A = this chain, B = another copy of it.
Amino acid sequence: MVSLSSFAKQFREAVDKNHSLVCFAECIVDYSGRAESHLPVGNRILILKSDNTFLVHQKDGHMPVNYMKQGASFIIRDNGKSIMVQLKHSSLKEYMNIEVGKVHSMHSQLLEDNEKIQLVGTEKDMAEHIMKNPELVSKDFKPLSLEEHTKYGFIDVFGHDKNGTLVIVECKRYGADLNAVTQLRRYVEKIKKAKGLKKVKGVIAAPKITGNAKNMLTDWGFEFKPVKPPRFLEKFDKYQRKLIP
């Protein structure tokens, strides 16, 4: 058990020194901003990060129950019976109040960490994979470019077939849904209009597709190509064999 006054002192210090702080505390949380919320009294995990991001986690679940992004100011007030922590994010017009009644434990320190996560298997990796292996789309597909942000939109892979017809490929690392089809539809319509073309092929490359999406795809004359997202890339290959027996 930590006294409320030392909680208030250590919290203030962590905010000012950009330390990271975690505590287990009984609290009431209120929020107002894009929406409004109230969380009645209970025991939660409070996390203050070195950039002053603030998270409230309940004992279960993946997501924080309340949170405040970087950029808020902190006012810590001692009411005697409880500590009021008031977060105010002026630019986002977001506000949060945490009334802390009991502090079961707390720890704060400077965390040294200069590393960034290395991630593979994203949609971009998939698009590059198709660039290198155009036969995944079709035998006569000749990819021209990987254009993420061009004037024609954010088309994943862009090329043509043996007849010179333009082909637009929309990659999805997960199962393609209705949204993926409408997205492809937008790109095809846009490029038809921009280039004054009558025929442009649209292809969705994804590991799978939902039934309704498949129907809409065929209705609109597009194609689906089952493509698995690239995994087990070279630099992770060795590691993988260790990780998954």
Asked if residues A24 and B182 are in contact (CB atoms below 8 Å), the reply is no
Which residues from B are CB-within-8-Å of A122? Answer: 35
CB distance from A171 to the nearest CB of B (A): 14
Cβ 8 A contact of A117, one of B39, B53, B97, B178: B39
Asked if residues A51 and B60 are in contact (CB atoms below 8 Å), the reply is yes
Asked if residues B50 and A121 are in contact (CB atoms below 8 Å), the reply is no
The reply to whether the CB of A233 lies closer than 8 angstroms to some CB of chain B is yes
Task: Knowing A66-B117, A97-B243, A117-B66 are in contact, say whether A51-B61 is a contact too (CB < 8 A).
Answer: yes
In the bound complex, how far is the Cα of B34 from the Cα of A182, in angstroms?
24
Look across to chain B and name the residue whose beta carbon is closest to the beta carbon of A60.
Answer: B51
**Interface size range on A against B:** 35 or more
The reply to whether the CB of A142 lies closer than 8 angstroms to some CB of chain B is no
Q: Majority SS of interface residues in chain A?
A: mixed
The reply to whether the CB of A150 lies closer than 8 angstroms to some CB of chain B is no
Which residues 168-211 of A sit at the B interface, judged by CB distance below 8 A?
A: 173-174, 178-179, 182-183, 185-186
Asked if residues B117 and A65 are in contact (CB atoms below 8 Å), the reply is yes
Asked if residues B49 and A59 are in contact (CB atoms below 8 Å), the reply is yes
The reply to whether the CB of A231 lies closer than 8 angstroms to some CB of chain B is yes
Task: Knowing A44-B113, A112-B43, A113-B43 are in contact, say whether A35-B244 is a contact too (CB < 8 A).
Answer: no
**New A-B pairs, 7, CB < 8 Å, besides A35-B173, A39-B115:** A20-B45, A30-B243, A35-B121, A36-B232, A36-B233, A62-B70, A107-B107
11 contacts between A and B (CB under 8 A): A24-B109, A30-B243, A32-B236, A32-B244, A35-B120, A36-B233, A38-B118, A39-B117, A44-B113, A53-B61, A55-B62
